[in-house]
Structure 1
Amino acid sequence: MTTTLNPLRERTLLWLLALTQFTVIMDFMVMMPLGPQIMHAFSITPTQFAAAVSVYSLCSGLSGLFAATYIDRFDRRSLLQVAYALFALSNLACALAGNFHLLLAARAFAGLTGGVLGSIVMAIVSDVIPVTRRGAATGIIMTAFSMAAIAGVPAGVLLGARFGWSAPFLLLVALSAAIWCAGTRVVPSLTEHVGERTPLSQILPRLGRLLTLPRHLKAFALTFTMMAGHMFVIPFISPVLVANHGVAPRQLSWLYMAGGAATFLTSRVVGRLADRYGKRQMFRVIAVVSLVPVLFVTHLPALPFAALVAFFAFFMVVMSGRMVPMQALLTTIPEPERRGAFLSANSAVQALGMGIGAWAGGLLLASGPNGTITGYGYNGWVAAAFTLVTVVWVGHVKGTGHDAPARPEAAPAVAQSH
């Protein structure tokens, strides 16, 4: 069951949700280029800084799993506004942290709030967008990553260099406050999914059934495999480019800006193609194509920097392109009344896959002569194997929705606006 909005309000809502995701993604991504400043400010080791980065993912996964017990018990708008307000406060806490332990606690708090926001956003998309147009809608939401790469991270790096490491988090507080105010007017009240209140004694048993339902398990397996394979490659691109190919750290922002700009243009196109030709079919095609850039970047020959920029744009388009049809497909798995809980649990599985993939990928790497990094090629082959598994496995992921290619139809009449 979906809530019908007029076209203008629907589009405004989707872009507002994309901006919400933009701030969440920027909050996660901007920590990495700020590493040298933060380590200097708090006199901490790289291992301690890595803990500040990883605690976010861990708490994000725990938050997503816990959210599955309550996310479908409340109005989506109210839950979004509360979680987003707490997210803004977590960034304020990061900016004001006076020592490393306070920063670590603030990053954990940010993970707890950011982890549930992604689930709420996709639940709202599922509630207001029919499944035949959900791929295009997911493409709009996925432009959040592009916007973060194009504008968010470079702006954060510049502010950090000019005003100190805390400046990007203050920027996030200001952006979050503006988006929160807009959300009070744009996000509709969504309560159709709220049924009879579940007794507290039944919450954990219901969560157990949610996590063990065969069609849910198949979807979780797809998510875990895809994200684990993804993280065998992604976290190590920048260190390898700097250590093995002589790319200056300040040049990395150009790579991410090029990739972000390219995906900004292609994410919505991929979403529309997924609606037209089927989400599974589109996922399979892009996943197979992604094998080429994954193996190329992990066996990278010497290239001029301009060629690296062009390749990185293509690499980001293909890697993010796999996620659009997969995310749209996952929204069709559960019944509407369990959609939020399922997406929260799936976010937890995604965070788990990312954490394990990055950890296992790091185990395959070693230090070579003159500070180079060896073993990255093995990461590429493992990532390729994981991708091939998902190409086969996606055919087993089926739910209560459908994934038939959209049929041409007349524009639906607007029923009502909430």
Structure 2
Amino acid sequence: MTVPPSPTLAPARERLVLWLLALTQFTVIMDFMVMMPLAPQLMQAFAITPAAVSGAVSAYAWCAGLSGLLAAMYIDRFDRKQLLLWMFALFTLSNLACAIAPNFHVLVLSRAFAGVTGGVLGAIVMAIIGDLIPAHRRGAATGIVMTSFSLAAVVGVPAGVMLAAHFGWASPFYLLVLFSLVIWALGARTLPSITGHLTHRVPLSAVLPNLIALYRVPNHLRAFALSFVNMMTGMLVIPFISPVLVNNLGVKPAEITYVYLAGGLATLVSARLVGKWSDRAGAHKVYRYLALLSVLPMMFMTHMPVMPLVAVILFFPFFMTAVSGRTIPLQALMTTVPEPSKRGAFLSANAAIQQLGSGVGALLGGLTLHTDAAGHIVGYAWNGWIAAGLTVFSVLWVGTVASAAGATPAPRERKAASAA
């Protein structure tokens, strides 16, 4: 039986699909991000330490990474739409489990379940972009989908923190369940069936050897290393922002809403601009610039003196723009590394590597911290120095990651396509 190619969408339908993918990612990112500003409430509700909160964050990341590794064995064997809907339904159930968790141990298990499901969704979303969007426009498309990070910071996390301050720590997870149900229904109605990649489907007996072969390609390994280090640097710093602001600077938990809101509003604008810049100047160059730029706000965040809330709010957009912005050219670059027939498996494996990097970063970041007699969190500065050193390494390393032959258009073709 001949499998139809992946559909070519009209511009309006393409934008609708991209924004739907962004909303899907919005729920996944909000689910992951909201644990971080909720840390003060969780520490109080369950009488736990910052390291325990980072353990819950890393449990999500580790499980997301492991599930992503397994997903590389099957992600290219199904219609992208159907696989996305099934995994999103399970992800919604995981958030319901988090909301009704009676104690911290059950919450950690629920976070692990969320990681198992959410970790695969990111790979599916990027595979859909790779299947539907031409290479010369994937940076802009990735920028649209990456606005999900901004939406999560502008709408999701502030709403979750405000709800938690008034109705308890579980309320953001109930909100996520409602969001997810609406987005799932829209996805079932709007997403096209994507089966063109099934023409290259391999027998089950060849799945494991092909997966092993995926990790034997030197360029793939270099790309995986870059993804791992990039995510690790961010997670050395990000999960501990809220506890440090509350414990060290005296910011009230409810006021964290305004900090994340300011950062999210900035990235809502910058994400699409960075995506277009990546298409125009090249993913390698844009990643280098933004990664180097991110060192400054990361160092300031981890060495922040006591300062008024207004100053923190004004600073946070610079942090969010640089740290989140560097991921956009990186993700666009990753869609060009594998051959098209291996894109889904590669991106699933890459998503797993990113989650493992997040888990390692959160775990190591928690190990450097402790609380002194005055209740202040000590050791955060070390996280900044380690993150800065790894960022410089990633800037040097990105030049070793190459695109597959034919995965990106030649400059003349890109210029002609843009003109068209």
After TM superposition, the score normalised by the length of structure 2 is: 0.91
Instruction: Trace 1:48-67 onto structure 2 (pairs within 5 A).
Output: 50-67=54-71
- The whole-number CA distance in structure 2 between the counterparts of 1:202 and 1:151 is 44
SS of the equivalent of 2:151 reads helix
1:94-126 alpha-carbon deviations (Å, 9 max, x no partner): 233345454333222211110100000010011
Partner of 1:388: 392
Q: Does 2:219 correspond to 1:211?
A: no
Question: What are the Cα deviations for residues 233-284 of structure 1, in whole angstroms up to 9, with x where unaligned?
Answer: 2222233333333333322221111000000011000000110111111111
What CA distance in whole angstroms lies between the structure 1 residues aligned with 2:202 and 2:212?
A: 14
| Pair 109,75 (structure 1): closer, same or farther in 2 beyond 3 Å | same
Instruction: Please say which of residues 324-333 and 153-162 is displaced more in the overlay.
Output: 153-162
Amino acid corresponding to residue 96 of structure 1 in structure 2:
I
The 3-state SS of whatever aligns with 1:23 is: helix
CA drift at 1:184? 1.7
How far residue 51 of structure 1 moved from its aligned partner, in angstroms, is 4.1
User: What is the CA distance between 1:411 and its match in structure 2?
Assistant: 6.1
**In the alignment, structure 1 residue 120 sits paired with structure 2 residue 140:** no
Decide which moves more: 249-258 or 263-272.
249-258
Q: What whole-Å deviation, never above 9, does each CA across 1:153-202 have from its counterpart, x for those lacking one?
A: 12122333444433322222221111111112221111111135433332
Aligned residue pairs, count: 411
1:45 aligns with 2:48: yes
Distance in 2 of aligned mates of 1:53 and 1:392: 29
Q: For the Cα contact (< 8 Å) 2:159–2:257, is it kept in 1?
A: no
Structure 2 residues not aligned, in runs of 5+:
none
Alignment match, 1:264: 268
User: With structure 1 as the length reference, what TM-score do the two structures score?
Assistant: 0.91
Aligned residue for 2:198? 194
Unaligned stretches of 5+ in structure 1? Answer: 413-418
In 2, Cα distance between equivalents of 1:306 and 1:98: 37
How big is the shift at 1:409?
4.0
Given that 2:55 and 2:363 are in contact with CA atoms closer than 8 Å, whether structure 1 keeps it comes out as: no
* Aligned with residue 300 of structure 2, among 276, 287, 296: 296
Matched, 1:89 2:93: yes
Alignment partner of 1:402 out of 402, 408, 413: 408
Corresponding residue number in structure 2 for 1:241: 245
Q: Who is 2:341 aligned against?
A: 337
Within the alignment, does 1:363 sit opposite 2:361 as a pair?
A: no
Alignment equivalent of 1:111, drawn from 80, 98, 115: 115
**Is 1:172–2:176 an aligned residue pair?**
yes
Equivalent in 310, 314, 320 of residue 314 of structure 2: 310
Aligned-pair identity in percent equals: 57
**Comparing 375-384 and 175-184, the one that deviates more:** 375-384
User: Do 2:36 and 2:240's aligned partners in 1 also have CA atoms closer than 8 Å?
Assistant: no
Please tell me the residue identity of whatever aligns with 2:23: L
| 1:164 to 1:372, Cα distance in 2 relative to 1, 3 A | closer
Which deviations, in whole Å up to 9, do the C-alpha atoms of 1:109-156 show, x marking residues without a partner?
211110100000010011111111111111111111111111111212
Query: Do 1:278 and 1:403's aligned partners in 2 also have CA atoms closer than 8 Å?
Result: no
Are the equivalent residues in 2 in contact too, given 1:2–1:126 (CA < 8 A)? no
Task: Tell me how far 1:6 sits from its aligned partner.
Answer: 0.4
Instruction: Call closer, same or farther: CA 1:358–1:92 in 2, change over 3 Å.
Output: closer
The aligned counterpart of 1:416 is none
1:284 corresponds to 2:288: yes
Q: Report the Cα distance in structure 2 between the residues aligned to 1:384 and 1:52, rounded to whole angstroms.
A: 24
